[in-house]
A and B are shown apart, each in its own frame.
Chain A
Amino acid sequence: MTDRFDCRVAFAEALVALAEADPRVVAVCNDSVGSSNLKEFKKRFPERLVNVGIAEQNMVGVAAGLANGGLMPFVCGASCFITGRALEQVKVDLGYSRSNVKLCGISSGMAYGELGPTHHSIEDIAWTRAIANMTVIVPSDPAETAGALRAAAALDGPVFLRLSRMPVPAVNAADYEFQIGRAVRLRQGSDVTLIANGTMVCRALEAAELLLADGVHASVINLPTVRPLDREAIAAAAAAGPIVTIEEHTVFGGMGGAVAEAVVTFNPTRMRILGVPGVFAPTGSTEFLFEHFGLTAANIRVVTLELLQECGRV
């Protein structure tokens, strides 16, 4: 079986490396040293870890203030709280103010499984991508997580990094270096394009493999940056045929919605948007919920075949 990795490890290592190279880097957390994997950072840079306690509105405001003071804060906490609980601060103190703050949403999507919808963060892409000046990144594997952190640090402005604790395999090429706003074609096919990000990229690749047995050649695009969107890559995919998007997020306003906005503008084609269908999840583990909502290679295959049938392509 393919090795799987908790991307928080790559996140923590990359953050320490950034802090070593750049004295402006500080971490801001909400009693989340453990869950955000900041123990090593705390050991190495105790004076550069700002723990505000359980107070997310204050946390985001404090980060904006630290940036005003010349520092580059990485705000680390559970994605549901640092976005939803502090959304006005994210809008005003980060987006509108163009503060040089990196918001790192840990355990996004349904990573908290059994803890339920209060702790799920399946709205965070929709919320953050609606805010002007925000860059929204959903890395898919350890290398991309590290690359996204480096790229976020190199950008002068607010960034939302949507991270996960779900173990994922390495899906990108060994020599791949993440670039903000660039989609990555992982597989070339002529019948349909599967577009995924985050934890769903590996599932899209598996689905493409399954579809081969059906005689369907699927392209797979990894779309880590939801804002700004790689419109060129999406326009090209739309020109080639139907599109299926897969994301660990509500189907309202997420990556699939962003792709659809571009598709109808540049090259209308039929789409299916796979994600959480506008409901709060029932109780269950993350894997159970992925099955429940059809976020599996098997269901991506089924949905893709249905779509191709509709289009008269099979």
Chain B
Amino acid sequence: MTELPAANIAALQLRARTIRRTALGMVHAARLGHPGGDLSAADILATLYFHVMRLDPANPRWPERDRFILSKGHCSASLYATLAEAGYFGREKLSEYMGPLSLLNGHPDRNKLPGVEANTGPLGHGLPIGVGVAKAAKITGGGWRTFVLVGDGELQEGSNWEAAMAGSQFGLDNLTVIVDRNRLQQGAGTEETMHLDPLADRWRAFGWSTREIDGHDLGVLAQTLGGIPFETGRPNCVIANTHKGRGVSFMEDRVEWHHRVPTDAELAAALVELGGGEER
């Protein structure tokens, strides 16, 4: 694997900052949302959409496109910010987030918004769908790859482990699950709620080729996600160690920011801390 040149990393950093700034602004404007998880996922989203995936935003249903499924559908603001950034629709649409009759529902709807692959929201749905999408490529000889971003708390849903068995049984090396391992869920820490560790061992035991990385290091993310399949014939698992609320000091690792909405002053302070994104 070759390392990403510094200029490319800087470009990804700018994308990630923009996703963070945009998502926070959307949550603030809608007075609703899940900013903590939006911020923990931003670097993963930036890497996938602006470095790894083969996409054609002008032709969102291109059959050979790589697929991204946001299983943690409540982090829709960061997904929408990413899709707008990638050119699936105009950035002006983002101001409609969760408004009356908006196409930008609180949880993504593939029939309303180009670029959305699956209707998610209830947890534990994305990975089974991802197994099906990847299996379809194996059956048809399609060349697309499938990426599923799951929250860590979400892994308490048993359907994920049904899908984990199937991904391994079917030898889906074209399927990658990325765990946004921010160690917090809605009410408390994941480990005190229903522990997930040793998480990497669990995925390995299910037959997944598993790597544990810093989910905010864009160079490492790019190298890791750009290097799939890790092993021929095995599905890929990337445990991305992240921080909920990443990038804003007073939100980082604070459970209340799961779905707290920033005040005007908090938003202003957050944008200062995030710094030089592109203004949207």
B119 touches A53 (CB 8 A): no
Interface check A48, CB cutoff 8 A:
yes
Given A62-B163, A69-B137, decide whether A98 and B111 contact each other with a Cβ distance below 8 A. yes
A82 and B133 CA atoms in complex are apart in Å by: 20
Interface check A70, CB cutoff 8 A:
yes
Given A26-B139, A62-B163, A98-B111, decide whether A92 and B133 contact each other with a Cβ distance below 8 A. no
A96 and B120 CA atoms in complex are apart in Å by: 10
- What is the minimal beta-carbon distance from A76 to any residue of chain B, in angstroms? 15
Partner of B129, one of A62, A70, A96, A98: A62
A70 touches B135 (CB 8 A): no
The chain A residue with its CB closest to the CB of B170 is A50
Given A53-B165, A55-B165, A61-B163, decide whether A68 and B140 contact each other with a Cβ distance below 8 A. no
Partner of B122, one of A62, A73, A88: A88
Given A60-B128, A68-B117, A69-B140, decide whether A55 and B133 contact each other with a Cβ distance below 8 A. no
A69 touches B159 (CB 8 A): no
B122 touches A92 (CB 8 A): yes
B131 touches A61 (CB 8 A): yes
B140 touches A55 (CB 8 A): no
B159 touches A68 (CB 8 A): no
- In the complex, which range does the number of interface residues on chain B fall in? 35 or more
A97 and B110 CA atoms in complex are apart in Å by: 7
- What is the minimal beta-carbon distance from B102 to any residue of chain A, in angstroms? 17
Interface check A310, CB cutoff 8 A:
no
Proximity string of chain B (68-108) to chain A, C-beta cutoff 8 Å, 1 when within and 0 when not: 00000000000000000000000000000000000000000
B159 touches A57 (CB 8 A): yes
A68 touches B136 (CB 8 A): yes
Which residues in chain B, 133-158, are within 8 Å of chain A measured between CB atoms?
A: 133-137, 139-140, 142, 144, 146, 158
CB neighbours of A88 from chain B (8 A): 122, 125
CB neighbours of A55 from chain B (8 A): 162, 165-166
Given A92-B121, A97-B111, decide whether A68 and B67 contact each other with a Cβ distance below 8 A. yes
Which residues in chain A, 33-86, are within 8 Å of chain B measured between CB atoms?
A: 47-48, 50, 52-53, 55, 57-71, 73
B166 touches A62 (CB 8 A): yes
Given A68-B118, A92-B119, decide whether A62 and B139 contact each other with a Cβ distance below 8 A. no
A61 touches B159 (CB 8 A): yes
A69 and B136 CA atoms in complex are apart in Å by: 5
Q: Which of B63, B120, B131, B170 has the most CB of A within 10 A?
A: B131
- What is the minimal beta-carbon distance from B130 to any residue of chain A, in angstroms? 6
A148 and B181 CA atoms in complex are apart in Å by: 46
A65 and B130 CA atoms in complex are apart in Å by: 6
A61 touches B132 (CB 8 A): yes
A220 and B2 CA atoms in complex are apart in Å by: 73
A96 and B118 CA atoms in complex are apart in Å by: 10
B163 touches A58 (CB 8 A): yes
The chain B residue with its CB closest to the CB of A98 is B111
Which residues in chain A, 175-201, are within 8 Å of chain B measured between CB atoms?
A: none
Q: Which of A58, A67, A70, A93 has the most CB of B within 10 A?
A: A58
Interface check B36, CB cutoff 8 A:
no
B139 touches A58 (CB 8 A): no
Interface check A172, CB cutoff 8 A:
no
CB neighbours of B137 from chain A (8 A): 69
A65 and B175 CA atoms in complex are apart in Å by: 12
Interface check B124, CB cutoff 8 A:
yes
CB neighbours of A48 from chain B (8 A): 139
A58 touches B136 (CB 8 A): no
The chain B residue with its CB closest to the CB of A133 is B111
The chain B residue with its CB closest to the CB of A94 is B119
A96 touches B119 (CB 8 A): yes
Given A55-B165, A92-B119, decide whether A65 and B124 contact each other with a Cβ distance below 8 A. no
CB neighbours of A245 from chain B (8 A): none
CB neighbours of B165 from chain A (8 A): 53, 55, 58
The chain B residue with its CB closest to the CB of A50 is B135
A97 and B132 CA atoms in complex are apart in Å by: 14
B63 touches A93 (CB 8 A): no
Interface check A222, CB cutoff 8 A:
no
A92 and B118 CA atoms in complex are apart in Å by: 9
- What is the minimal beta-carbon distance from A289 to any residue of chain B, in angstroms? 32
A58 and B168 CA atoms in complex are apart in Å by: 13
- Across the A-B interface, give the 4 residue pairs with the lowest CB-CB distance, nearest first: A65-B132, A69-B136, A61-B128, A58-B162
Instruction: State the A residues within 8 Å of B (CB).
Output: 26, 47-48, 50, 52-53, 55, 57-71, 73, 88-89, 92-93, 96-98
Sampled A-B contacts (26; CB under 8 Å): A50-B135, A53-B169, A57-B159, A58-B131, A58-B163, A58-B165, A58-B166, A62-B163, A63-B132, A64-B128, A64-B132, A65-B130, A65-B132, A66-B135, A66-B136, A69-B136, A69-B140, A70-B142, A71-B140, A73-B132, A88-B122, A88-B125, A92-B119, A93-B118, A93-B119, A93-B125
- Given A57-B159, A69-B140, 9 further pairs, Cβ under 8 A: A26-B139, A58-B162, A69-B136, A70-B140, A71-B139, A89-B128, A89-B159, A93-B118, A98-B111
